[in-house]
Amino acid sequence: MTNSNFYTKKKLFLLTLSLTLMLAACSDPTEKVQQPPPPPQIPKGEVYLAPDSPKRTYVKTASLVLTQHPLLEPLAGKIVYNESVTSRISSPIAGRVIKAPAALGTSVSVGSTLLELDSPDVADAEADFIKSQADLTLANHAFNRQQELYAGKAIAHKELEQAQDDLSRARSDVQSAQQRLKNLHIHAGQSDGRFILNSPMTGVVVERNVTPGMEVRPDLDSPLFVVSNIKKLTVLMNVFEVNLSKIRLGQKLSVSVPAYPNERFPATVQYIGQVLDDTTRTVQVRCELPNPDGRLLPSMYATVTVESDASDQAIVIPLTAVFTEDDVDYVFIHLDEDHYQQRPVEIGLRLKDKAIITKGLQPNEQLVTEGALMLRAEEDAENTNP
């Protein structure tokens, strides 16, 4: 190879290298890849659920409102007759039932016949009255005769005094026999030995312990009839001494029974016992319970809720909405369609299934009543996987 050829090739190589370097200087040696923008930073204590997230079906919410709140755990109670409108009726005399007694459920008024007896005692009382009347008539004639004899000086004054004493005694016997008949509600002219037991009040025959032909006595263990106005009942409940300060006369209560689980019946504290049971440390409280439609029945078990005054209102939430971390109680609030916020709350009274909130929540906010723990787990997952 000649020198001229060598220099020619060298120039071509240098020219190619220069062009390559110039092109390389004008272009980016690495091709830049477009990166997606970083996701927005989610504040601590807040959770977002995707619109199509299946977890949304497990989250239930409710609007918060101010309401009367319980003062203590619901109390166990029992419905009984209202003693002020109840009468337990027995027969004041012995006898045999001769007609069918009033049936259970019969509505009666004052003076209605409950049963009729054939009674030797009544026959004796009637006979005593008739005899006392005859004795009075005889004593009256004797006294008049003695007065005439004394006026004619045919007898001594002592004999007139004796006749007057016999007349006074006869009058007293008549009054005694008449009063006995009156106490038995027997007419003075009656002489058939029959006794009619009447109702002393208006109400319904709620118990009957007598049958046709039965021999009855005044000393039977059970009353023959119980008549009561079942439109007015009583609820009995036992209150522990530690809770007595929350009970007062005239206080309004709410009563529920298993027969009507979704209904509440109003009651009023009528009497607070004055004796503390030394064994149970409770005091018995009687509450007036109106029963206008007759659906409530004596002997029903009841649950009694002691509520605050109508003016003393608070936010009451289900305990399913509350979870606790580091001795602090939290709930979740639904801010918008996908957005939830964890919030600390203060609980004034924690009941079996409810909590009374004193701080942290406001009316009209949307509380997560179910699914709070799931949202808490979702919050941890968001913080773990940014």
**112 CB-near residues (< 8 Å, 6+ apart):** 102, 198, 199
Residue 115 and residue 108: Cα distance in Å, rounded?
12
Residues of the chain with CATH 1.10.287.470: 120-189
Q: Which fold has domain 120-189?
A: Helix Hairpins (1.10.287)
Q: Give the pLDDT score at 6.
A: 44
The identity of residue 42, as a single letter, is I
Query: Which of 3.30.465.10, 2.40.420.20, 2.60.120.260, 3.40.30.10 would CATH assign to domain 46-70+312-384?
Result: 2.40.420.20
Per-residue confidence (pLDDT) for residue 20, from 0 to 100: 64
Residues of the chain with CATH 2.40.420.20: 46-70+312-384
Helix (H) or strand (E) holding 113: strand 113-118
In terms of C-beta density within 10 A (0-12 exposed, 13-18 middle, 19 or more buried), how is residue 203 classed? buried
Q: How far apart are the C-alpha atoms of 56 and 51, rounded to whole Å?
A: 8
| Dist CA 224 CA 282 (whole Å) | 34
Per-residue pLDDT of the chain (386 residues; tens, 9 = 90+): 444 554 555 455 555 656 565 655 555 554 455 555 545 566 778 888 888 888 888 899 999 999 988 888 899 999 999 999 999 999 988 999 998 899 999 999 999 999 999 988 888 888 888 888 898 899 899 889 888 888 888 888 888 889 889 889 989 988 888 888 788 777 766 778 888 899 999 999 999 999 999 999 998 999 999 999 999 999 999 999 999 999 999 999 999 999 999 899 999 999 999 999 999 999 999 999 999 999 999 999 999 999 888 888 999 999 999 999 989 999 999 998 889 999 999 999 898 889 999 999 999 999 999 999 999 888 877 666 55
Contact (Cβ atoms closer than 8 angstroms) between residue 321 and residue 361:
no
Cβ contacts of residue 98 below 8 Å, gap of 6+?
Answer: 116, 117, 118, 194, 213
